[in-house]
Each structure stands twice: as structure tokens, then as C-alpha cells.
Amino acid sequence: MTSAAISEAELATMRSAAQQDVRDLRAQIQQLDQPSIDLILERARSHYAWQDRPISNAQIARLYDIVKMGSTSMNSCPARFVFVRTAEGKERLAKSVKPTNLPKLMGAPLTVIVAYDVEFWRELLKLFPHEDRRGHFSGKPEHAEDTAYRNSTLQGGYLMMAARAIGLDVGAMSGFSNAIVDEEFFAGTTVKSNFLCNIGYADESALFQRLPRFEFDEVCEFA
């Protein structure tokens, strides 16, 4: 069913513009160069110590503007982000982390709570306006939460690559209590925490050697 807010003619015009935009992009750039790939993945590292340099509001806004363009199923965009950088916010978040992670958290200029809204589907008419997909999730809480968790994880990955792309460093953390974070930051809401990610300018002196990775034939196959 087409939304009354967008006519078939309007949809056709928007589709045509979107298709041309992709053609223009491909004409402009075919692939990233190797230094760019190194920056965001191949030579990038997870960091555990941080320089005493703040992250500005403009950097955070730019970060989100990149992340929001990443693909999610049905354009559902279930991730919610809490950018924790005040002393009060860090103290609240510190209640949830394991002792070994506390210095990482407190030393970072910015820690992002990557969370998800289990009722994301209520916004689908806004985000997926050419067809009402709310019925896929209404009355199906397990399906809704599974979709929200999976896609917010994907958006958290976009967050990490976007941060690196704009010159920041990242260190994701899972050693914390989701229940405590949810009680402290999301009580009385439909939002739940997924994982934490420290962002800032790394102090490389805390790095150790890169750990091994599987080779292609150890974990990949063709079908």
C-alpha cells in the first residue's frame, strides 16, 4: 500500500534521481585507494589508552551524519546513540563496566552507548514511506528485538569505521553489564544497550602486537 503522503509519480521521480546519483558516484570513484582502506580497516587498531584531547560537537555531528546513511533492513535505523563525555555521565556508565575496562572508559574523551529501540518499527512510515511495513513487527516482540539488535550492531560497525574515516580512533567494549546500563540510561523506555565504544585520539604507547587472523581457507568456502 502506497503512503498517501507520496504519490506514484513522486516515487518514480525519486527513484530516478536515486539511480542517477549512484551512477554519478560510480563515475566519480570506483574504489578506495589502499591508504584509505588501511585507515579504516587493514592497518587500523582497537585502542585502549587515550590522549587528553576533546571531541567537538561538530565532530560528533559529522560522525552521526555518516553513520545514518549506512544501510539497515527496511531502512529501519533502530540504533540509538548516547554520547557520554561529561564526568557525571562517565560516573554513571562506570557502574556497569568490569574493573579491567574502567581505565579505558574513564580515559577516553568520548564513550558511545550503542543501543537499540525494540519499538523502532513504529517509525517505519517515516523511514520506509512507500509501503507500510509496521505489520511485520507489531505484536511480534521477539522478531522486533532480533531485527533491532542485528541492525543496531551493523550501525555500531558503521560508527567505528566512520570515526576512523574522520581521523578518530576507536575501542569497542563488551565487558560491561547491559542490565546496569539499561537501568541507568534507559529506564522506562523501549531502548536497550548493545555495546560500548570509546572514541578519541589514541595513545599508541598502550598498543601490543597485532593478533593473528584466520586465513581465507580456514573460515571461508564456496557453495
One DSSP character per residue, the chain reads ---TTS-HHHHHHHHHHHHHHHHHHHHH-SS--HHHHIIIIIS--B---B-S----HHHHHHHHHHHTTS--GGG---EEEEEE-SHHHHHHHHTTB-GGGHHHHHHSSEEEEEEEETTGGGGHHHHSTTS--GGGTTT-HHHHHHHHHHHHHHHHHHHHHHHHHTT-EEEEE--B-HHHHHHHHSTTSSEEEEEEEEEE-B-GGG--PPPP---HHHH----
- Identify the pLDDT of residue 110: 98
pLDDT value at 85 more than 60: yes
CB 104 within 8 A of CB 174: no
Average pLDDT of the residues in 125-149? 95
Share of the chain above pLDDT 90, in %: 93
* One-letter amino acid of 196: L
pTM for the predicted model, two decimal places: 0.93
Going by pLDDT thresholds of 50, 70 and 90, the confidence category of residue 3 is very low
pLDDT value at 217 more than 50: yes
The model's pLDDT over 22-63, given as tens digits with 9 standing for 90+, comes to 999 999 999 999 999 999 999 999 999 999 999 999 999 999
What does pLDDT average to over the chain? 95
Average pLDDT of the residues in 59-83? 98
Share of the chain above pLDDT 70, in %: 98
pLDDT value at 2 more than 70: no
Average pLDDT of the residues in 14-20? 94
Residue 196 per-residue DSSP state:
E
Domains in the chain: ranges and CATH? 46-205 (3.40.109.10)
One DSSP character per residue, 158-196 reads HHHHHHHHTT-EEEEE--B-HHHHHHHHSTTSSEEEEEE
Beta bridge partners of 202: 50
Going by pLDDT thresholds of 50, 70 and 90, the confidence category of residue 1 is very low
User: How many whole angstroms separate alpha carbon 110 and alpha carbon 96?
Assistant: 16
* C-alpha cell of residue 116: 537499540
- Identify the pLDDT of residue 5: 62
Grouping H, G, I as helix, E, B as strand and the rest as coil, residue 86 is coil
pLDDT value at 172 more than 50: yes
- Identify the pLDDT of residue 49: 95
pLDDT value at 6 more than 90: no
User: How many whole angstroms separate alpha carbon 39 and alpha carbon 36?
Assistant: 5
Grouping H, G, I as helix, E, B as strand and the rest as coil, residue 1 is coil
Going by pLDDT thresholds of 50, 70 and 90, the confidence category of residue 8 is confident
Average pLDDT of the residues in 167-188? 97
The model's pLDDT over 97-130, given as tens digits with 9 standing for 90+, comes to 999 999 999 999 999 999 999 999 999 999 998 8
